[in-house]
Amino acid sequence: MTDKKLNTLELVKEYLSEEKYRIKLDDLINYELRNIISKYSADNFKKSDSFAESLKMYEEVTEHFQSIVTAICYWGTKAHAKTLERIFTRQVDAISDIGGWESLRYYPILLLQYFGGISALAAGNYELLKVILSCLVHDVRRNRSVEITGLVIEKTTDLHRGFKTIPGYERYHVPRSEYLFKLMRSKLDEILFLGKSYEDLFDRFEIFLTLTYSDFNNRNNNSDWGPPGRFVWKRYGGSSVFIEFKTEADNFKNEWEPIKTGLFQGSYDRFVQVHNNMSAIMSEWHFL
């Protein structure tokens, strides 16, 4: 971790610790947002013809925000929801205006969703997980606000083919998922020391991401499809994480924390419907 990144992380953690630092936190976030938005607008994102090089560019540009979003989602509270939401809405606005491959433009947002979502789950912070998955952002094509996961997954689905071109990822069923799993492990462990829990948290977040998009897709496009993650093949390879996820919800129903915070329209019945629809789709995927 670079000295600058470490200093930023320590400042964010300090500012999250007490309400009296709220204005300082907002000032820091606004400074970092202006900085990253200026980098998104740089010409290098319009010139690269290499998929792998473009990934690295966006990963380097978002390095500060990877740690910022991680800290907010792990140590923050419901009071920081608006700050977290602003991080995503301002970047989505900026990315929609830059050149380059359209699907790649939204990769940094997806990357930050993973960092924030896994961190929120590690802390049991479902209020901020809801922001990560469902905050409203502007969709230029529809000219209206939509849930962030709906927009980002629609824009990045085509990246599957690009990740297949990266050496070592040609044979993976879900190369994007495998790539992110390896990319993020050491970075999150450096900040949160997740150890062996990292894989379970990663799978859990991907299930939330898949089901959140499936819910959005059903309401907006009359389709129940959601993006597959590493957890899909685990369901059939001895680890029933997708089934266990539903069992957890079944035990609490409308008192399940994700439902209480408003995910799946705040309805256990809606969650069951989405989960069952997605389960049926998964059972038909040919690579299983």
Q: Residue ranges of the domains in the chain?
A: 3-284
For residues 183 and 215, give the distance between their C-alpha atoms in angstroms, rounded to a whole number: 28
Of all residues in the chain, the percent with pLDDT exceeding 90 is 75
Residue 277 banded pLDDT, cuts 50, 70, 90: very high
Is the per-residue pLDDT at 267 higher than 80?
A: yes
Neighbours of 60 (CB within 10 A): 10
Beta-carbon count within 10 A of 87 CB: 22
pLDDT digits (tens, 9 = 90+) for 125-152: 999 999 999 999 999 888 899 999 999 9
Confidence tier at 179 by pLDDT (50, 70, 90): very high
Q: What is the mean pLDDT of the chain?
A: 90
Residue 99 has pLDDT above 60, yes or no: no
> What pLDDT is stored for residue 237 in this prediction?
46
Asked whether the beta carbons of 163 and 227 are under 8 A apart, the reply is no
How sure is the predictor about 238, in pLDDT bands with cuts at 50, 70 and 90? very low
pLDDT at residue 136, as a whole number? 97
Average pLDDT rounded to a whole number, residues 200-212:
97
- The whole-angstrom separation of Cα 34 and Cα 11 is 18
The per-residue pLDDT for 100 is: 55
